[in-house]
Structure 1
Amino acid sequence: MSISKSVVPARRPGQPGRLLVLWLSAVLVLVGCSSIPTVGPVGTASAEHGGEAGEDAVFSPEGPGVDASEQDIIRGFMEAGRGAVDDYSVARQFLAPELAGTWSPTERVTIYRSSRIVAMPEPDQFQIQLEVQGSVNAQGIRTDEPEGTTETYPVRLEKVDGQWRISEVPNGIIVSLASFPALFIDHNLYFYSSDYQYWVPDTRWFVQRSGIAANIIKALLLGPAPYLQGAVVSAFPAGTALARDAVPVAAGEATVDFTSESLRDSSDLNRQQMVKQLEQNLRSLNNGTSVRMTVAQRDVDLGKGSGELRSAIADPSAGATQIVVHQEELAFYADGLEPIADIPSVAEYGPRHPAMSVDRSVIAFLDSREGTLRITGPGQDVRVAAEADRLTPPSIDPRQWVWTARPAGSGYQVLAIPPDGDRSSAAVLSAPWLEGLTVTELRISRDGSRALVAANQGGRSQVMVAGVVRSAEGVPVSLTAPMTLQVPSAAGEVNRVKWASEDTVVAVQAGVQEAAPVILGPGRKEADVLSPKQGITGLSAGNGVEDIFIQTGEGIFSKVGNSWTLRTEGVRDPGFPG
Structure 2
Amino acid sequence: MRALACTGAGVMLLSACASMPDSGDLRDVESTPRQDAEVRVFALPPREDAPPSEIVQGFLEALTSDDPQYTTARQYLTGTAARRWTPEESTTVLSDGPDIRVDRTTAREDGDAYAFTLTGTAVARLDQQQAYTPLHGHYSQPVHLIRDAKTGQWRIDRLPQGVVMGRSDFQRNYVSVDKYYFASGSQDGTTATGPVTAVADPVYVRRRVDAMTQMVRSLLAGPTRWLSPVVVSSFPQGSALRAGVTTLTPDDQNRLTVPLNDRASRAGQRQCRQMATQLLFTLQNLTPTVDTVTLERTDGTTLCTLGEDRAETVATRGSLRKPEYLYFLDDEQRLVRLAAGTTGTVPDPVPGPLGEGLQRLTSAAVSWDERTAAGVSADKSALFVARLAPGGTLGEPVVRSQGASENDRLTPPSWDEHGDLWVADRDPRRPRLLMLEHGAGRPNEVRVPGLDGRIDAVRVAADGVRIALVVEHADTTRSLLIGRIERAAGSTPAVSVLDLRPAAPELEDVTAMSWAGDSRLVVVGREQGGVQTMRYVQVDGSTPQGPSPAALTGVQSVAATADGRLPLVAYSEDGIVRLPSGAQWQKVVKDGSAPVYPG
Q: TM-score range by the shorter chain?
A: 0.7 to 0.9
- Superposed, 1:68-147 pairs within 5 Å as 68-85=50-67, 87-114=69-96, 115-123=98-106, 124-146=114-136
- How far off is 1:534 after superposition? 4.2
The separation in 2 between residues aligned to 1:130 and 1:526, in whole angstroms, is 23
SS in structure 1 of the partner of residue 564 of structure 2: coil
The separation in 2 between residues aligned to 1:308 and 1:538, in whole angstroms, is 34
Tell me if the contact between 1:557 and 1:567 (Cα under 8 Å) persists in the aligned partners.
yes
- How far off is 1:239 after superposition? 2.4
Tell me if the contact between 1:507 and 1:519 (Cα under 8 Å) persists in the aligned partners.
yes
The separation in 2 between residues aligned to 1:413 and 1:263, in whole angstroms, is 48
The separation in 2 between residues aligned to 1:310 and 1:577, in whole angstroms, is 21
- Candidates 570, 573, 578, aligned match of 2:594: 573
What is residue 198 of structure 2 aligned with on the other side? 199
In structure 2, what residue type is equivalent to 1:292?
Answer: T
SS in structure 2 of the partner of residue 106 of structure 1: helix
Alignment root-mean-square deviation, CA = 3.3
The separation in 1 between residues aligned to 2:331 and 2:428, in whole angstroms, is 36
In structure 2, what residue type is equivalent to 1:132?
Answer: A
Q: Quick one: structure 1 residues 91 and 354, their matched pair in 2 at CA, closer, same or farther if it must change by over 3 Å?
A: same
What is residue 298 of structure 2 aligned with on the other side? 296
* Residues 1:58 and 2:33 are matched in the alignment: no
- Candidates 315, 339, 354, aligned match of 2:364: 354
In structure 1, what residue type is equivalent to 2:593?
Answer: R
Identity level (%): 20
Tell me if the contact between 2:446 and 2:497 (Cα under 8 Å) persists in the aligned partners.
yes
Q: Deviations over 1:197-222 (max 9, x none)?
A: 33221111112345433321221122
What is residue 342 of structure 1 aligned with on the other side? 352
- How far off is 1:411 after superposition? 8.4
What TM-score comes out, normalization by structure 1 length?
0.80
In structure 1, what residue type is equivalent to 2:145?
Answer: L
The separation in 2 between residues aligned to 1:162 and 1:429, in whole angstroms, is 66
Greater Cα offset, 276-285 or 494-503 = 276-285
Q: Structure 1: which 5+ runs fail to align?
A: 1-54
What is residue 484 of structure 1 aligned with on the other side? 502
Q: Deviations over 1:524-565 (max 9, x none)?
A: 446965555443332222453972222234421223668544
Q: Deviations over 1:106-138 (max 9, x none)?
A: 211222332321112312221111233322222
Tell me if the contact between 2:560 and 2:597 (Cα under 8 Å) persists in the aligned partners.
yes
Tell me if the contact between 2:265 and 2:296 (Cα under 8 Å) persists in the aligned partners.
no
Q: Quick one: structure 1 residues 313 and 156, their matched pair in 2 at CA, closer, same or farther if it must change by over 3 Å?
A: same
- Candidates 440, 448, 466, aligned match of 1:421: 440
* Residues 1:552 and 2:552 are matched in the alignment: no
What is residue 166 of structure 2 aligned with on the other side? 176
Tell me if the contact between 2:512 and 2:556 (Cα under 8 Å) persists in the aligned partners.
no
What is residue 18 of structure 2 aligned with on the other side? none
SS in structure 2 of the partner of residue 132 of structure 1: strand
Q: Quick one: structure 1 residues 287 and 472, their matched pair in 2 at CA, closer, same or farther if it must change by over 3 Å?
A: farther
* Residues 1:363 and 2:373 are matched in the alignment: yes
The separation in 2 between residues aligned to 1:533 and 1:289, in whole angstroms, is 38
- How far off is 1:572 after superposition? 1.5
Q: Quick one: structure 1 residues 60 and 240, their matched pair in 2 at CA, closer, same or farther if it must change by over 3 Å?
A: closer
* Residues 1:312 and 2:315 are matched in the alignment: yes
What is residue 332 of structure 1 aligned with on the other side? 337
SS in structure 2 of the partner of residue 282 of structure 1: helix
- Superposed, 1:267-286 pairs within 5 Å as 267-283=268-284, 284-285=286-287
- Candidates 446, 454, 471, aligned match of 1:455: 471
The separation in 2 between residues aligned to 1:156 and 1:411, in whole angstroms, is 56
SS in structure 2 of the partner of residue 419 of structure 1: helix
Tell me if the contact between 2:327 and 2:335 (Cα under 8 Å) persists in the aligned partners.
no
SS in structure 2 of the partner of residue 182 of structure 1: helix
- Superposed, 1:20-39 pairs within 5 Å as none
Q: How many residues align?
A: 513
- Superposed, 1:481-520 pairs within 5 Å as 481-489=499-507, 492-509=508-525, 515-520=532-537
The separation in 2 between residues aligned to 1:462 and 1:86, in whole angstroms, is 38
- How far off is 1:139 after superposition? 1.0
Larger RCO, structure (CA 8 Å, separation 6 or more): 1
In structure 1, what residue type is equivalent to 2:262?
Answer: S
What is residue 223 of structure 1 aligned with on the other side? 222
The separation in 2 between residues aligned to 1:519 and 1:127, in whole angstroms, is 36
Q: Structure 2: which 5+ runs fail to align?
A: 1-36, 107-113, 187-194, 404-408
